[in-house]
A = this chain, B = another copy of it.
Amino acid sequence: MTTREQAQAWDRDDALASHRALFDLPPGLIYLDGNSLGALPRATPERVSQVVRGEWGQGLIRSWNKAGWVDLPRRVGDKIARLVGAGAGELVVADSTSVNVFKTLHAALAIARQDRPGRRLIVSERDNFPTDLYIADSLAREQGCTLLLVDAVEQLGPLLDDGEVAVLMLTHVNYRTGRMHDMAELNRRAHAQGTLVLWDLAHSAGAVPLDLHRDDADFAVGCGYKYLNGGPGAPAFVWVHPRHAGRCTQPLSGWFGHAAPFQFTPTYTPAPGVGRYLCGTPAVLGMAALECGVDTLLAAGDMQALRAKSLALTQLFIELVDQRCAGHGLALVTPRTVHLRGSQVCLSHPTDAYAIMQALIARGVIGDFRAPDILRFGFTPLYTRFVDVWDAVDRLEQVLSSGAAREAVT
């Protein structure tokens, strides 16, 4: 059984350990919820203050050009592109993930109508993140399509092989289970039958290595406030493969997606490429904070190194839970197979999941409860230490063996 001293030794040997100092973390807290809201980079407060006091307060309207605000969606987009295997100029920061799902799914359906007329099927998973399903359902109704939700991953392949699916829309790493799809294989199987694939990278970007070009994705959206550390409600991002980006417009045709917004022409001419996926005036404060967050990942140099540590962290957590928490009714939800695992571990408990998480939080370990029975723990290799994993399981075992969970909710 791994001892606390062993975990501390791994931290000493960890080439990424120094990156924890890039973050301003509350002392004594074990934060295993960076997959809900990433931690605060130390650079962010000063940068945001500079934008507020200097660029806005003193520069005022001039800062749209002088401080480069007008370029923020593309500049920060180019940085995120490096994390997901996209090219420069292919990815922009804009709006929320939900809004970007709407834009890209709408565009994918428009392209499917051109290339595969008559196809009316959108496929996703029933336990996909709800906002994606809500948006897909709205578009399906609007466009006379059918949204088909599968209950098991294994159903996807045969469905794709039928050759009737217009668009497959998946979240790469499932928010409830931490299970990761094989992006390359699903894209290949979809494309073999002319199906387009839209990926939500909310739990992947900044968490696992991605290569949208190598894996031949069609569309992708992602979240700024989870592993990208962009802050609460940070703007989201949207990527469109260059083969699709200029083929159609998307319906949220706001002025920032115009080819020349400041000519104020009454008719819409879409910007070339992914620029047409911009809509309204960019959220400058949010984008400035997001840039600081993305910089913390670029500073780590290589998603492969982050991935190796992430797997070591989740593996240690799983092993310690196996060893120390057996007999208390917990079950592992996240796959043991490493290539199916994102950067989180989920456990289920038939009756006490909520109470256990409340008791853990009271003991300084923050994870998530997801109804009805899931305990979710996110591991962010930039700032999670091996000793944090050890201590978290130690406190989990205390909670389980002491009956503290029952007390926490009574």
Contacts and interface: CB of A to CB of B under 8 A. Distances in A.
Interface of A: 24, 26, 29, 31, 33, 36-37, 39-40, 44-45, 48-49, 51-53, 55-58, 60-64, 69, 95-99, 102, 126-131, 133-135, 137-139, 142, 149, 176, 225, 231-236, 249, 251-256, 258, 261, 263-268, 279-287, 289, 366, 368, 370-371
A27 to B, nearest CB: 9
B26 A40 contact: no
Contact of A266 (B52, B62, B133, B368): B133
A46 B268 CA distance: 40
A213 to B, nearest CB: 27
A131 B280 contact: yes
B254 A284 contact: no
Given A48-B285, A137-B268, 13 more contacts: A24-B57, A29-B60, A37-B56, A39-B57, A45-B49, A96-B283, A99-B279, A134-B258, A138-B253, A138-B268, A149-B266, A232-B285, A233-B283
Nearest to A51: B232
Given A40-B52, A61-B36, A253-B135, A285 B289 contact: yes
Contact of A254 (B135, B285, B370): B135
Contacts of A62: 366
- Scoring A24, A126, A232, A235 by chain B CB atoms within 10 A of each residue's CB, the highest score goes to A232
B281 A102 contact: no
Copies of this chain? 2
Nearest to A97: B280
Nearest to A225: B281
A252 B52 contact: no
B137 A267 contact: yes
A282 B233 contact: yes
Nearest to A126: B266
A52 B41 CA distance: 10
- Among A176, A249, A264, chain B packs the most CB atoms within 10 A around the CB of A264
A45 B57 CA distance: 9
Contacts of A49: 45, 48-49
Nearest to A100: B280
B268 A134 contact: yes
Contact of A137 (B40, B232, B253): B253
Given A33-B60, A61-B33, A266-B127, A251 B137 contact: no
A283 B172 CA distance: 24
A98 B280 contact: yes
A102 B285 contact: no
Contacts of A253: 134-135, 137-138
A301 B264 CA distance: 35
A401 B229 CA distance: 54
